[in-house]
Amino acid sequence: MSPIKIVHVITGLKRGGAETVLLRLVTHMPDFEHQVISLTDTGDLGPAFEKAGIPVIPLQLSARRPSIHQLVRHLHRLKPDLVQTWMYHADLLGGLAARILGHKVIWNIRNSTLDSQTKWTTRATVKLCAHLSNSVPSKIITCSQHAQKVHEDLGYAFHKFHLIPNGIDCETFRPHTPWRQKIRTSLNISQDTPVIGMVARFDPQKDFPTFIKTAQQIAQHNPLVRFMLIGPGCQEDNYVLRKDIQQANLPIMLMGPRQDIPELLNALDLFVLSSAYGEAFPNVIAEAMACDVPCVATAVGDTAEIIGDTGLVVSPREPAALAAACLQILAKPPAGQRQRIIDLFSLDLMIERYKQLYEDLTKGL
């Protein structure tokens, strides 16, 4: 019996949450045949897909050229058993192209916030997808309960939703004392100095001003604490961020984008996510927990469901509450964060859930 063939259609392959989950998915399901079509280019992650033997077809479409003709042509040639689309524009174009050819479609929703700051083209796409959700997809996968509720309220067909939380590779993200020692030695930080960090791209969604105000209040209570910011835009040439840090007179290390995230997470005593909105299932929280690092986060998306009783969750944009929660965790670190990820949000569980859905939808083909 030939393997089930799945073509994944995604808006692009920059380094992000949805793109990373797709990479993990296709590289851990050897019993299925996967191919990826990017509506734009191969982005940051394209080479990783190719290295894993997953073909990537970049269509180089743009907002001015959103034609589905190329997509229909490629899908006709590939003859998939299922088409799975990722993110709104791919849901719309990929879903319509697949249905034109009679293929079953799975939409995949990763976002949880749409407001006045969201581009009008995205809002229009979401509105159209909501209208088509009864007829185009067989299932709509969402990675978080919060995202599902948001989209049901927007008019998406509630009976089509299928919750599959993101899965974390607990072999890659694991506690490892030598990593902690190496990173701290390279940064000239003693092994017993408290270090608080955040991994996030520099974006208004992540609310860096709240992180900096929180760090300021923590430093007033414990001047020994060091702080670390990791991610695209979190580097010395970011004038806005550097100016805010200098004005706050804080010991915040700007690490920039890094490839050694598991090692850096091991160097932390506490992981913080200060996001104000937009999160559905923040992978970085689960990754930190898999490294046995306790977390304090704002109540956006499914952060509370991920953290459970192994950390603390506070309201967004409240630095005083965030600081108090951080000091509480530093004073009495909780246990059980890694085991919670293994039990509820491991990569193995996510893969098994996707496998079951794929098999259910292709029965009788």
Confidence at residue 104, expressed as pLDDT on a 0 to 100 scale = 97
Confidence at residue 278, expressed as pLDDT on a 0 to 100 scale = 84
pTM equals 0.91
Answer whether residue 354 shows pLDDT above 90: yes
Answer whether residue 365 shows pLDDT above 60: no
Express each pLDDT in 73-128 by its tens digit.
Answer: 999 999 999 999 999 999 999 999 999 999 999 999 988 776 656 788 888 999 99
Long-range CB pairs of 309-315, under 8 A, 24+ apart, other chains included:
309/334, 309/336, 310/334, 310/335, 310/336, 310/337, 310/340, 311/337
- For tokens 């913080």, what's the residue? 272
Answer whether residue 12 shows pLDDT above 70: yes
Q: Could you give the percent of the chain with pLDDT greater than 90?
A: 90
Express each pLDDT in 128-167 by its tens digit.
Answer: 999 999 999 999 999 999 999 999 999 999 999 999 999 9
> β-pairing, 104-109 with 252-256?
unpaired
Mean pLDDT, all residues of the chain: 94
Minimum mean pLDDT range among 52-66, 136-150, 167-181, 316-330: 52-66
Torsion angle of alpha carbons 186, 201, 11, 88, nearest 10°?
Answer: 140
CB proximity list for 190: less than 8 A, separation 6 or greater:
184
Confidence at residue 52, expressed as pLDDT on a 0 to 100 scale = 95
What is the spatial distance between Cα 88 and Cα 310, in angstroms, rounded to a whole number? 33
Helix/strand/coil percent split, the chain, to 5: 45, 15, 40
CB proximity list for 22: less than 8 A, separation 6 or greater:
8, 10, 36, 86
Express each pLDDT in 217-251 by its tens digit.
Answer: 999 999 999 999 999 999 999 999 999 999 999 98
Confidence at residue 117, expressed as pLDDT on a 0 to 100 scale = 64
Confidence at residue 356, expressed as pLDDT on a 0 to 100 scale = 96
Confidence at residue 16, expressed as pLDDT on a 0 to 100 scale = 82
Q: Which of 192, 215, 233 is nearest to 274 (CA)?
A: 215
DSSP 243: H
pLDDT tier at 192, thresholds 50, 70, 90: very high
State the distance between the two ends of the chain, measured CA to CA, in whole angstroms: 11
Q: What are the tokens at 5?
A: 């063939």
> Would you kindly state where each structural domain of the chain is located, as residue ranges?
5-167+346-361, 177-344
DSSP string over 96-150? HHHHHTT-EEEEEE------TTS-HHHHHHHHHHHHHTTTS-SEEEES-HHHHHH
Task: Determine the topology of domain 5-167+346-361 in CATH.
Answer: Rossmann fold (3.40.50)
Express each pLDDT in 22-63 by its tens digit.
Answer: 999 999 999 999 999 999 999 999 999 999 999 999 999 876
What is the spatial distance between Cα 173 and Cα 292, in angstroms, rounded to a whole number? 9
Which listed CATH number (3.40.1390.10, 3.40.50.2000, 3.10.560.10, 3.40.1190.20) goes with 177-344?
A: 3.40.50.2000
Helix or strand holding residue 195 (H, E): strand 195-199
- Please give the average per-residue pLDDT across 171-186, as a whole number: 98
Topology alike, domains 5-167+346-361 and 177-344:
yes
CB proximity list for 199: less than 8 A, separation 6 or greater:
230, 231, 261, 264, 265, 271, 284, 287, 288
What is the spatial distance between Cα 354 and Cα 205, in angstroms, rounded to a whole number? 29
Three-state secondary structure of 260-322 = CHHHHHHCCCEEEECCCCCCCCCHHHHHHHHCCCCEEEECCCCHHHHHCCCCEEECCCCHHHH
- Please give the average per-residue pLDDT across 285-298, as a whole number: 98
Confidence at residue 65, expressed as pLDDT on a 0 to 100 scale = 62
